[in-house]
Structure 1
Amino acid sequence: MEQAVLREDMVDSLTHESKGCLQTPRLADAMRTVSREAFVEDDRAAYSDRSFERFGTRVLAPSTAARLLEALAPEADDDVLIVGVGVGYTAALVAEIVGPERVHAIDITRRLVYDARSNLATAGYEAVLVDRRDGAEGLPEYAPYDKILLEAAAVEPPRALREQLADDGRLVMPLGAAEQTLTVVAADGSQRRLGGVAFQPMLVEGEQADTVERNRTHREDRERAQQAAQSRAGWEQEWIDWDDY
């Protein structure tokens, strides 16, 4: 079956009342246009509504991508920042709506940055700028942004991302830790909550999947615990002759 037919079937399933996660015509058109098979390894399953794992990150299911972008509501000529770009699929959808030159994307994992660049080029969106950055810092060189999408959970909206919003801009993100809510955050800090989600937490430097250890702090804690366990208290030291005391 041709991929275009599969894309059409995917959009039909997402707009059906049983799911109802895709409602905006311009987003539906983008999902009909963007070749999802350019962003996943299994062409046969590219249009099934399920997520994939790649390079330690989750490739969002189409219904999840639709929920995020319905909340983001990108419009033609918006300047958009995607934080945690992953393999690049949502960036491509946004680029189809606003134009590739208006989309900037960052990820803390270098392998994913290279992968996203390659995938976006394959899909025809090579003009999207993808850079390796700490997501909490955003990309201030190109601010302000009309829309910012954070594809990772945080317990509160990162200050730098809020500061990089235009006066009438919006930040969309999963807000919370164990219990997360898809949240729209305005530049003034006001919030609108749109229902539960489940995302991986936003990583900081030293935690990304392509480092030797996912969490540098945990590694140091473990090493110090091992050193403490192997060290001897004063009364155990062999060089002290306790019979002299």
Structure 2
Amino acid sequence: MRYDEVTNDMDVRITPTDGFGVVLHKRTAPADAPADAVFVYNNSRGTREWIAAADLEASNHMPALPYLLKITDGTEHNEHDRMFWCLGREYRVHSMWADGTGGCTVEHIAEDGTRTTVMYGQRDHQTAMIATATAITAMRAIEGGEAAPVEYLVEGKDKNLFPLRATSHPEADEDGRLHVASPAEVPDKVKGTERAIARDFITGKETRRRVYQWNAYPVYADGSIGQPTLMRA
């Protein structure tokens, strides 16, 4: 999916004009920031800042699992607290003990500061984040109605989980991805597509590789994308 318009409503991987690997998060812009500013975390430089949307170049990368970030706003319970964003919402992860050991709890942080516990007893910060992101995606599918995905976007992966572009498929879009109503349609949809194109994002060189698995990402009405359903090819 191409993001031609950068908004504060999506967690997407984007490429800024000065480097690779920025994750965009939903936040309310401060009064001294430009009207179109977005809050970003650069995973190659480890920096976070408000940047005008016009200075960012959207890419066609599918979102991976959320990133665990250190908390720098002074509201952490202890130095081992972490935060992440999932489907445009902020979550905090903290362990039972101040030294970072013990089970981890995840809290949703509303814009007014209200904290709601959504996950208990996970063995570490990463496991807590993965479990929460997976549960959020699953609950939206279960809830249905307006919360349900409007479609699923299907992308191939090689054995190293590098994205592949199924450009030879007659129903593939311009990014080599397929659109289905549910993950159940994927096996029939991809029959005969054993290989797809891998593109080096730095050199632009393309090679054909065997598809190891298919990822079906739920896409919601607001443009956000949840955790994918994984299927072996």
Task: Tell me the TM-score normalized by structure 1.
Answer: 0.25
Higher helix share: 1
Which structure has the highest strand share of the two? 2
